Chain A
Amino acid sequence: MEQFIVNIIHRPEMVPEYAEKVTGQGKAEDIGRKALLTESLDIFKTQQDCAHRHGLKTTIQMTYASLFNDEAVALAKEHHERYGDEIALSLLGLPCEEFRKKYNTKDFCIWMFSMEDKKAIVRDVFGKFHDRFGFYPESTGSYYLDAELINFIKAEYPQVKCAVATCWEEGPKAYHTCNNSWYTLMDGGPWAPWIPSKQNTHAPAANAEEDSGIVAIPHLSRDLLACYDGNGSNFGTHPQNVLRGMIYDTSTWEFPYLYNLIDQYRALAKYNDGYAYNMMFVGPGWMNKMGRWEAPYELLLKSYEEGCAYYGELKRQGKLTDMTMSEFADYYRAKKGYTVPECALWRDILYGSKKQLFWYCDPYMRACVNMDQGGALVDLRPYVAKLEWPVGIGTKHVQDASYPFLIQEKYRAGYFTHYAGEGTVRSAKLRYRGEEVDLCLCRTKAHFEREGGERRLTLDPVTVEFDGLSVTLQTVIAFPEGESCIRYERRVLSMSDPDAQVQIDEYMVGCYGTTEYPEDMTSLTLRVDAGEDSVALPYEYKCREAGADGAARVSCDVPPIKTRVSMTCEGRQPRGYVREGYAFSPMFALGYTGTLREKEVFTTWLKLEKAD
């Protein structure tokens, strides 16, 4: 039976993010203002009431500031008794007078503090929680929790089993949307719950050895197409995200998009053995009495009320199970094996296009396939490297917590570039008598199936028209479980001239990074493995190319992200090649060319390995 789980989380934040900036405009900063505290607690009460009235239980994530407030503590206890809400502890909402006095800083994002401060704050907050409730929490979280922090929390407070640990694709795009003033740089993580590895929060654990001991959930369930290109904070299961995106009818205040988003998440059960997940986590700052941006308070309230009503209605129909975070962690542990991937075939539900993407996440990679570009791979994160990437003050990455990519079509160009150079993508080109067509230009749709441990996309056939020859080709993309590789099969179903043959060029253009800007490529090495004809090409921006007929493998070592990416091939007349980039095209390319005749298949494997 299919099961759709929802976690509804509320936090009594005594100084909500935004509120001081919004309601306090024209006043000198004063986070102890009585009016601010009263309003914040009122919002929390309203949110709790919305959920309870619709028959939903919540997870109450107490904030540091709220632990100093008797009323907030009493409410949490009462709601736990009456509604079965879980009393948990958030590492968001640190700012308050007590915190500022003690730590002498205005920092409020737990992952950005020095490790020393992280430890002191965690001990302080967990200790204070214990003082107030007499037990330690089982759930915690923030927008992001780095691996070192999770490991520390788990070691000190072993009963913690669940945490909000990343915000999907909240990175440079969110930063830009906030006029480069919102430093949550954490792209490249899972969009659905996962078990973080001890080495890197974003990368799921491959086995018990790597298991950090917690189940992580994302902050919000986000639109896997809209958030990938646009501002993440407009397209999530946070009713007020949808208002921020202005995705409502101003005359009726209707917002069917929110329900489409929830329903598309429900539909993901089909690709994940009958399980699907949602979370709703709205900070109190978003239900400000002053309104938030264009939306008056009445609309903010309506959106939250109706969001809860929709989940409540699904529950009444037996289509949804509400759980607390710790209940969910137990459920997830019982349900999911380490190497079982999370899959999402996702369509556009907002812009009226028919774009379709496929997202895949397992302990070895996160990948995005774009059917609007013939099944090209447009985003690739090599989780297999389990990159140790400490963040916070005192590390090399004070703010940047993103998991690096090898391919990212939005930041480092995809198929289309201006005038020169190449962009990151993994696709194929067909050539015939001097003409060349990239499959990125063949729009299609995919069908998902699972056979044993293999998840597979079969794409609708596409036709490539050359002068004097038309080729109908089908792509099959397979993800064999636990193998850290993606198999691409290109099958010629028919040709207008059955005796013709076309050249195929299966390629990957890659680089590495976490932002739009190029990185130093000089530590990379490209290789063609072909016995005596083997070549190693250290990257020097010299625009060189090397190749060999029948090459066993082509690869690139990317030391800054401890990753080796390689391709192998099976087909007619295979020739492996590697290509160095140049300053105006700071990329590398790997690939295989070969020939295809009617009814033939050309198969390539893209493999990711950890390379120390």
Chain B
Amino acid sequence: MAQAGKGRLNYRCPSCFMRDLDIDMFYDKERGEYYCLRCQYVGTEEDVLQKNEMARFRYRAMRKRFTDFEDFSD
């Protein structure tokens, strides 16, 4: 089996990202999957993108525009 390389973009491991760790994944051409060197995450590009959406769960105000920073009303 040949060595792994980088994929089209330098995808980070979504599982590690969720614990504040930025780790580039490597790409296994033969299996068509990205994998993490540090944790046990393995996934296709589609799965990575989907998990990255999931990682945004904590940014609940990501789409909100604030105008008054001392206004705490809903």
B-binding residues in A (CB < 8 A)? 22, 25-26, 173, 176-179, 230-231, 244, 246-250, 254, 256-257, 259-260, 263-264, 267, 290-296, 345-354, 356, 445, 447
The 25 sampled A-B contact pairs (Cβ below 8 Å) are: A25-B6, A178-B22, A231-B20, A246-B56, A247-B62, A250-B49, A256-B62, A257-B59, A259-B65, A260-B64, A260-B66, A290-B10, A291-B10, A292-B10, A293-B10, A293-B11, A293-B12, A294-B10, A294-B52, A295-B9, A345-B70, A350-B61, A352-B64, A356-B72, A445-B72
Asked if residues B69 and A296 are in contact (CB atoms below 8 Å), the reply is no
Interface on chain B toward A: helix, strand, loop, or mixed SS?
loop
The CA of A26 and the CA of B3, in the complex, are separated in Å by: 10
Asked if residues B63 and A352 are in contact (CB atoms below 8 Å), the reply is no
Interface on chain A toward B: helix, strand, loop, or mixed SS?
loop
The CA of A248 and the CA of B21, in the complex, are separated in Å by: 18
| B38 within 8 A of partner (CB) | yes
Task: From A179, A295, A346, A352, give the contact of B21 (CB < 8 A).
Answer: A179
Chain B interface size band reads 20 to 34
Asked if residues A351 and B70 are in contact (CB atoms below 8 Å), the reply is no
A511 CB to nearest chain B CB (Å): 24
Q: Mark B34-74, 1 if CB is under 8 A from A, else 0.
A: 00001000000000010011011011111111110110100
Enumerate chain A residues within 8 angstroms of B65, measured Cβ to Cβ. Answer: 256, 259-260
The CA of A22 and the CA of B8, in the complex, are separated in Å by: 12
The 5 nearest A-B residue pairs measured at CB: A352-B60, A352-B61, A25-B6, A267-B69, A260-B66
The CA of A596 and the CA of B1, in the complex, are separated in Å by: 75
Whether A264 contacts B69 in the complex (CB less than 8 A), given A230-B20, A293-B9, comes out as yes
B74 CB to nearest chain A CB (Å): 9
Nearest B residue to A245, CB-CB:
B59
The CA of A296 and the CA of B9, in the complex, are separated in Å by: 7
Task: From B9, B20, B64, give the contact of A173 (CB < 8 A).
Answer: B20
Asked if residues A249 and B66 are in contact (CB atoms below 8 Å), the reply is no
Enumerate chain B residues within 8 angstroms of A22, measured Cβ to Cβ. Answer: 10
Asked if residues A264 and B22 are in contact (CB atoms below 8 Å), the reply is no
A313 CB to nearest chain B CB (Å): 14
Asked if residues A179 and B64 are in contact (CB atoms below 8 Å), the reply is no
The CA of A352 and the CA of B9, in the complex, are separated in Å by: 30
Asked if residues A246 and B52 are in contact (CB atoms below 8 Å), the reply is yes
Asked if residues B21 and A177 are in contact (CB atoms below 8 Å), the reply is yes
- Since A177-B22, A256-B62 are in contact, a sample of 20 more A-B pairs with Cβ atoms closer than 8 Å, ordered by chain A residue number, is A176-B21, A179-B23, A231-B22, A244-B22, A248-B62, A250-B53, A254-B63, A256-B63, A260-B65, A260-B66, A291-B9, A293-B12, A294-B52, A345-B70, A348-B61, A349-B61, A350-B59, A352-B59, A356-B72, A447-B70
Asked if residues B20 and A177 are in contact (CB atoms below 8 Å), the reply is yes
Asked if residues A351 and B58 are in contact (CB atoms below 8 Å), the reply is yes
The CA of A295 and the CA of B24, in the complex, are separated in Å by: 13
The CA of A460 and the CA of B64, in the complex, are separated in Å by: 26
Asked if residues A26 and B5 are in contact (CB atoms below 8 Å), the reply is yes
B27 CB to nearest chain A CB (Å): 11
Of B5, B38, B58, most buried by chain A (CB within 10 Å of CB) is B58
